[in-house]
Structure formats: C-alpha cells, structure tokens
Structure 1
Amino acid sequence: MQATLTVTPAQLPEVLLHVAVVRPVFLWGAPGIGKSSLVRSFADSLGLDCVTLLGTQLAPEDLIGVPQIVGDRSRFAPPEAIARHEPYCLFLDELNASSPEVQKAFYSLILDRRIGTYELPAGSVVIGAGNRATDNALARPMASALINRMIHIHLRVAVDDWLSWAAGSGIHPWIVDYLVQRPDHLWSAPPKTEEPFSTPRGWHMLSDAMHSYGDRLDDDTLAVLAFGTLSTTHASGFRAYVKTVRHAYDLETVLKGEAGWPRGAEERDLLYFLSETFRVRLVKGLPQSKEHASPAGRQLAFRAKTLLTELAEISLECAQLVIATDDDGAPVLPSWFLVEVSRDLPRLAAARS
C-alpha cells in the first residue's frame, strides 16, 4: 500500500488516542522505524496491557481456539492470551505477513471485536501493523474485506522526534551527536540484497553494543559493530566521525586553519567524512543570494574556495563530492558560489603551486 499522507512518531499518539479507541487501526511503515514500540507506549499511556500476536507465528486455531464440550454441546475456547476480562490493547503485529487463513480468522475480531462467543471487554483497542511490499519485507496482499475493516495510518521516520527520544533514553552520545550532524543517515531504504541497512532500530542496537563494550571499544571492533547494523556508507561515516572525536580532529579545526585535511591513505574514510560534513556546512551557511550574504557568510565562501583547492590536491573525488548535485541533478550549493568556484579554483591552484 502506498502512502498518500504520513504522520511522524510524535504525531502518532494523538491520532491513536482519537482513532484507535473507536475503530481498529492498521499502522504501515518501513522495518525498524519503531512501530511496535510506539504501540506499546500508547497502550501504557492508557494504562492498558499490550497483548502482541505475531501474524507470522500464528495458525487459525491459535485465534479461534479449540472446541470443548460444555454440557451436550461444543464451543470454541479462545486462547487465554486473548480471552481476558479486563480491557487491553490487542496488537496484531506483522498482520499482513500472515497467511490468508490467519487473516480471515482476524475478520470478526477486527470488525466485531469478537471470537466465537468471546467479546473483547469494553475499552479495549485493536491495532495492527505491518511493512510494505516495497520495503523488501515479507508482506502478503490483504483482502479488500480486511483492508476495509481498519483505518490505515502511514508512519514515517522523523529525525527530530527520534533525537528527542534518544536524548532521554540512554542512546550513546556519539550516535546522537553524529545524527545531529547527519540526520539523513538515520534511515536508509531497505536494499534488495541481504545486507544491513540503517534504521532507528539499527542505531539503537549499535548504541547498546557500544555501551556494552564501554571504554574497551577499539576502532576495529567499532567497525564490526557499525557495519553489522548500518548501511555501508553510514557505517563508514560514523566510524570516521568517532575518529574525529577521539583525536579532537573535526571540521572546525580545518575551517579555522588549525589543522589541514588528512592526507594519509589510512585516513581516507576520515577525509570522506570531513568532505561530506563540509558540504553540509556550506549548504547551511551559504545564502542563496550573494547580495544577502552576511559577513560570516562571505568569509565562509572565501575560506571554502581555499579549502576546496587544498582538498582537490589530495582527492579530486572528495572535492567533487562537496560541490556535487543532488540525485535529480539539481545544484545543492548556491549558484553564485558554484560560479565563483569554477572561476577562482584554477587561479587559486596556480597561486599555491
């Protein structure tokens, strides 16, 4: 299912508070962005137990129950996890990954809040969740009858929401600081091959592993952990960032002239990281119009041209990375600055030689 409109994690509780209490909800979203934890937090906020059923681990009888003889008749006895007397939150995780037979077993539970003779207690809420087929995750088509029984909400990743949560949840400070600088690295689209990719859950797992190692975490071990939880590009960038932290070597020292670009072959990942950070700094610090540039903006532009010349001497690829266009071929840096770069760089390079 394609998303027309989406909500952020911070917006979701308010939506659920008004919607899930009156109608079943299905929450769509990419793997690892926090759907399950958000549902559990919502249940906690209402003072309800959260009973989670994984669609991929169920058979129809796990919902319908097994028949038992009562008097001279038989009736189905729903499982103990569901048949509760107090209201609760029934969370049907990976619902659209379950078999068609299991999905059919959910029909009456979702629409009528009933299984056989058992009815969910008043005040209970029913929430389903699942990944999209476009995420390369296990997802089966849902019948129109099931789709039409729920209100569908699409969740998207929101960096500010995650960073606010991370600040009070013990996420490793290096991870928080890195994602403040590179918010685009919080999440990456699932690849078509079997390899790690970046998600809020992946960063959380990396944080837990880093805390476990503590001060004994060396660079090689960090690399193993990062490349085991994140996309290759993001893992390489984070590893380079940690080097800057450990060696007090960051972009500010380069901008101030207190240090030069790293030149050693063993520092190439650090050079790439600083180049990407330099690009982000220019995007934020340079105005779109030169006439409206502040003194600080003009000084940054002047210093940037010198640094680009020095960077090109070490790695033309890294220098091109700084001024590259976006994925659609549109300029990212202001046009006036790019014009000055193309005009002044040969002159600056000649002056340095």
Structure 2
Amino acid sequence: MKASNITKVIKKLIDQKLPVFIWGAPGIGKSSIVKQIASQQGLEFLDLRLSLLDPTDLKGIPFFNADTNEGVWAKPSFLPSDPDSKGILFLDEINTAPPAVQASAYQLILDRKVGEYELPQGWSIIAAGNRENDRGVVYKMPPPLANRFVHFEMEVDFADWKTWAFQAGIESSIIAYLAYDKSMLFTFDATSNEKSFATPRSWEYVDSIVKSGIKADLILDSISGAVGREAAVGYTSFKKVMKELPDLKSILDGSLTELEEENSKVIMALAIGLVNALLENPSDEAVEHVLNFSLELPGEFAIMLVKDMQLNDIDVESSDAWGSWVQKFAYLLS
C-alpha cells in the first residue's frame, strides 16, 4: 500500500484505538509518516524502541508496598501518564526485540495496560518493522502478538515521494534525476552485501550532502556513501546537464517564452526547477508566465509540470492562461 493511502487509513484507525503495524523495507519512511500524522493531528509522539528494553522495563520493577502489605509493580516513567494527554505511542522495530520483550508488550498492545500501568485513553499504538526477508536482525513475530495488530505493508511510490520532496525542500536536481530514472529511488537488494543503497531516507542524506559545501572532488564519493556508486554516478552526471538550463527567473517574469532544447534530461530538470521556483516565490503573474511557457513544451512534460503545480497547491485554474493550456493539451488529459 502506498504511504499516502496508509496515512489516510491510520488517521481513521487511531480514532478507533486499533493497534496498527506497518511493515516495509528499511529506509522507506515508515517512522516518518507516523510522526507526520501525529504532527498533523496535533498529537504527542513517543518513539519507543522495544529492542533497547528488558522485559521488566515495560511491566515495571516489583517492590513491596509496606502500607498495603502487597507486592506491586513500579510504573515505567518513560510511558505517558497524563490522563488528559493525547498522542501516538510508536513501537518502532518491534520485531527486532527479543521474544521475551515482545511478550511483555502483549498486554500493553491489546489491553492498553501492563502491570500497574494503563495507557491514557487519548493515546493510540502504532508499530513498525522490517520484513523477515529484508536481511535485518529480526525475530519471527509470534502469532498471538501478530493477531493484536491491523497489518499494512508499505511500498515505495515515486509520486508520493515527489510530493513530499517538494514540500520538504529537497534539492531540485535530486527530484529531477529521480523523476527521470524512478528505479534509482529504491535499490535495496536483500541478497546483496553492499552497505550503501538508495532509499527515500538515503536520498534525504544526499540532499544534506549536496547542501553541505563539500568540495567538488569529494562529492561523488560522499554521495556514493549514501546511495551507492551507480546511483551517485547517475545523479552527478544528470546534475551536469542542469548547467544547460536557462535562468528560471526569466521564465517566471515572462521574458523567456520558449525553450530551444530537445534533451529530455534538460526539460525534465527545467520542469522540476520551475515548480520549486514557484513554491519559493509564488505569484499569479509567475504562474501565468509558466503556463504560457509550458505551451511550447512537449506534451508529456507540460502535463507533468502542471500536475506537479496542482499537487503543490499552486492555483493554475484561476490563471488567464489556463483556458489556452487546457485547449492545447485536452487530448492528453482525456
């Protein structure tokens, strides 16, 4: 299931307090979407790694209460205690925890309490983990624990990632390269021994590397360390092509109205760059100039450009140029 669809479902299920488990390969953004949901819903977010805990950490340490002559369990201080609080308790990498620790989580997940502790009513439980065939150190999840979750397997989807990348301010050359070669967004191979491979998470690292100011003679090796040699060579080669791009400001201000260029890499990079430029400096005039400019682009790139504008809430329908654009590319939209 795509991340965008998982997000929609989880937003409904957390209202019902149903425990959810998100499965997926490493680096595809499982924890990120849960954290984003919490932020969007105005909820607290507590990331708990069961693999770092002992079985007694969840249930608490037993001690004798002299006042009642009873043995009781000390409530864990790291779990939410405010009865009026609302949030998401995120159990990340739950299947990397030893079976004894997983067993201690049974009651917390199903009954929302363990030992003397009870999870506040406003909290929901979401867990995530890598699949057993992802070459990670995982323990097979016992059926009694598995049956306590609603399970979803998250897949890598470029359209979802691109929408996120625009909003996150990812370097436009990275978005353009991956739009040109979508296979490079995720290159994880469970049978390979390579330490570096491309994932949505590692491309975010590349964004930081590119913006870090590392010298040109070291940039290829640095990017290779994040996404692997093949993806790094492909990206750096693509970025060289971007030097052929016209000044984007000349398109936004209407002084450049058409592009004398047939290289698909250049046109792809230009379309991505224009969306980023509009997000940074939005105006009705700039939108109109971009739409007029897109009338001279090959149809598939004009469609991609306008769809990306719409996905990023750039108002194209109100522009005076919208009618001309629809009239020219209506045959591609049907």
Same fold per superposition (TM over 0.5): yes
Larger radius of gyration: 1
User: Per-residue displacement from partner, 1:101-136 (whole Å, max 9, x unpaired)?
Assistant: 000010000010001122111121001100012211
Matched, 1:78 2:78: no
2:210 alignment partner in structure 1: 210
User: Per-residue displacement from partner, 1:206-229 (whole Å, max 9, x unpaired)?
Assistant: 10121121xx641x3220122101
Task: Determine the C-alpha separation between the residues in 1 that align with 2:89 and 2:64.
Answer: 27
- What SS does structure 1 have at the residue aligned with 2:25? coil
Task: Determine the C-alpha separation between the residues in 1 that align with 2:162 and 2:80.
Answer: 38
Matched, 1:11 2:5: yes
Are the structure 2 counterparts of residues 74 and 229 from structure 1 closer, same or farther at C-alpha, using a change threshold of 3 Å?
same
- What SS does structure 1 have at the residue aligned with 2:2? coil
1:260 alignment partner in structure 2: none
Are the structure 2 counterparts of residues 151 and 253 from structure 1 closer, same or farther at C-alpha, using a change threshold of 3 Å?
same
Task: Determine the C-alpha separation between the residues in 2 that align with 1:183 and 1:79.
Answer: 45
Contact 1:21 1:124 in 2 (8 A): no
Task: Determine the C-alpha separation between the residues in 2 that align with 1:212 and 1:232.
Answer: 19
Matched residue type, 1:158: D
Displacement, 1:248? 6.0
Alignment of 1:85-234 (within 5 A): 85=82, 86-191=85-190, 192-213=192-213, 217-218=215-216, 220-234=217-231
Matched residue type, 2:188: A
Task: Determine the C-alpha separation between the residues in 2 that align with 1:254 and 1:233.
Answer: 27
2:20 alignment partner in structure 1: 25
Task: Determine the C-alpha separation between the residues in 2 that align with 1:31 and 1:76.
Answer: 36
Task: Determine the C-alpha separation between the residues in 2 that align with 1:217 and 1:158.
Answer: 32
Once structures 1 and 2 are overlaid, which stretch shifts more, 56-65 or 147-156?
Answer: 56-65
Contact 1:163 1:176 in 2 (8 A): yes
1:321 alignment partner in structure 2: none
Match of 2:32 among 14, 33, 37: 37
- What SS does structure 2 have at the residue aligned with 1:92? strand
Matched residue type, 1:243: K
Contact 2:97 2:139 in 1 (8 A): yes
- What SS does structure 1 have at the residue aligned with 2:72? strand
- What SS does structure 2 have at the residue aligned with 1:156? coil
1:53 alignment partner in structure 2: 48
Contact 1:43 1:50 in 2 (8 A): yes
Task: Determine the C-alpha separation between the residues in 2 that align with 1:67 and 1:152.
Answer: 34
Contact 1:51 1:81 in 2 (8 A): no
Task: Determine the C-alpha separation between the residues in 2 that align with 1:248 and 1:17.
Answer: 41
The alignment yields a C-alpha RMSD, in angstroms, of: 2.4
- What SS does structure 2 have at the residue aligned with 1:209? helix
Contact 1:113 1:120 in 2 (8 A): yes
2:237 alignment partner in structure 1: 240
Displacement, 1:20? 3.2
For normalisation by structure 1, the TM-score amounts to 0.66
- What SS does structure 1 have at the residue aligned with 2:86? coil
Displacement, 1:194? 3.9
User: Per-residue displacement from partner, 1:143-191 (whole Å, max 9, x unpaired)?
Assistant: 1100111110111111111111111212111111111211221111234
Contact 1:98 1:140 in 2 (8 A): yes
Contact 2:80 2:120 in 1 (8 A): no
Task: Report % sequence identity.
Answer: 33
Alignment of 1:288-303 (within 5 A): none
Task: Determine the C-alpha separation between the residues in 2 that align with 1:168 and 1:64.
Answer: 41
Runs of at least 5 residues in structure 2 that lack an aligned partner in the other structure = 247-258, 269-297, 300-334
Structure 1 segments of 4+ aligned residues over 6 angstroms from their partners: none
Contact 1:54 1:95 in 2 (8 A): yes
Task: Determine the C-alpha separation between the residues in 1 that align with 2:141 and 2:182.
Answer: 34
2:319 alignment partner in structure 1: none
> How many residues were matched structurally?
250
Matched residue type, 1:131: N
Task: Determine the C-alpha separation between the residues in 2 that align with 1:45 and 1:84.
Answer: 22
Matched residue type, 2:2: T
Task: Determine the C-alpha separation between the residues in 1 that align with 2:150 and 2:49.
Answer: 20
Task: Determine the C-alpha separation between the residues in 1 that align with 2:261 and 2:41.
Answer: 51
1:63 alignment partner in structure 2: 58
Matched residue type, 1:119: E
Contact 2:45 2:90 in 1 (8 A): yes
Runs of at least 5 residues in structure 1 that lack an aligned partner in the other structure = 1-6, 257-272, 278-295, 298-353
User: Per-residue displacement from partner, 1:257-308 (whole Å, max 9, x unpaired)?
Assistant: xxxxxxxxxxxxxxxx98xx9xxxxxxxxxxxxxxxxxx99xxxxxxxxxxx
- What SS does structure 2 have at the residue aligned with 1:137? coil
Are the structure 2 counterparts of residues 253 and 196 from structure 1 closer, same or farther at C-alpha, using a change threshold of 3 Å?
farther
For normalisation by structure 2, the TM-score amounts to 0.69
